[in-house]
Amino acid sequence: MNQSELLLWCAISQADIGGGDRPTADQRRRAALAVFTEWVNLTGDSAFPFTIDEIEQASLRLRKAGDPGKVKVGIALTHGIYCYFRNRGKGPCCNEVEAGHIWQKWDGGPLTIENGQIECRAHNNQRRELSIEEYMKSDKITEAMDGR
């Protein structure tokens, strides 16, 4: 999942978009406006790169993702929507995001909202089994992975 998709899922989860399997054109527009409003609230940016059809499809993907998708959105909304290591001297982030563990999985840490943080794939892969403290003290720095 990339950063924009995560932000869209977060905006969808915060918006009151109603329900139903066959929304009217007016219901779709109102839902899109609600998602756009939440996007602006989350990002502070009015540049919205999604169409009404893309919002509807993302909403279905979020619903089908079930608990793992809800946990990732919950982590982002609770602990921050961008990579935890962004601007912390560990090199540039890539555009792909993952739910990282605060208390590492290998040490029994569950992937929950309380024990999660958003990490870009570059930092998550580089950190691997290091604790946050160990990683921050290490001399590991990511290289730009996708030009971002």
Residue-range domain boundaries for the chain: 3-65, 82-148
The whole-chain average pLDDT of the chain stands at 91
The pLDDT-based confidence of 106 (bands split at 50, 70, 90) is: confident
Q: In whole angstroms, what is the distance from residue 8 CA to residue 47 CA?
A: 12
Beta strands in the chain (DSSP E): 97-101, 116-120
Q: In whole angstroms, what is the distance from residue 126 CA to residue 97 CA?
A: 13
Q: pLDDT tens for residues 65-85?
A: 888 899 999 999 999 999 999
